[in-house]
């Protein structure tokens, strides 16, 4: 991890280290799973943001977790509408 001084403020650089973003990527994957079955309009966007943060912190799988969360949002909404329509 390197520290760069910009405008008098210390900025931490963690890009390029997969372990730095792994927790965010795992959180994104869990949110994507929850988005299919529980409140997709909440868990999906949270998962997408976590995945993008994980990617920005160096975990290349973060982008895939973010995309999975976005897809899970749509799947969850359609699944919810289908279940509600059968009642």
3-state helix, strand, coil in the chain (%, to 5): 70, 10, 20
Q: What is the mean pLDDT of residues 3-10?
A: 54
**Which two three-digit tokens encode residue 49?**
């943001």
**Higher-confidence position of 6 and 49:** 49
As a whole number of angstroms, the distance between CA 60 and CA 83 comes to 35
Q: What is the mean pLDDT of the chain?
A: 87
Predicted TM-score of the model (pTM): 0.77
């Amino acid at each position: 991890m390197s520290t760069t001084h910009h405008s008098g403020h210390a900025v931490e650089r963690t890009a390029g280290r997969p372990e730095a973003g792994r927790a965010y990527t795992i959180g994104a994957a869990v949110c994507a799973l929850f988005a299919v079955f529980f409140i997709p309009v909440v868990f999906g966007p949270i998962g997408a943001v976590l995945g993008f943060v994980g990617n920005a912190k160096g975990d290349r799988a973060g982008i895939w977790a973010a995309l999975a969360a976005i897809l899970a949002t749509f799947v969850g909404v359609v699944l919810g509408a289908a279940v509600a329509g059968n009642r």
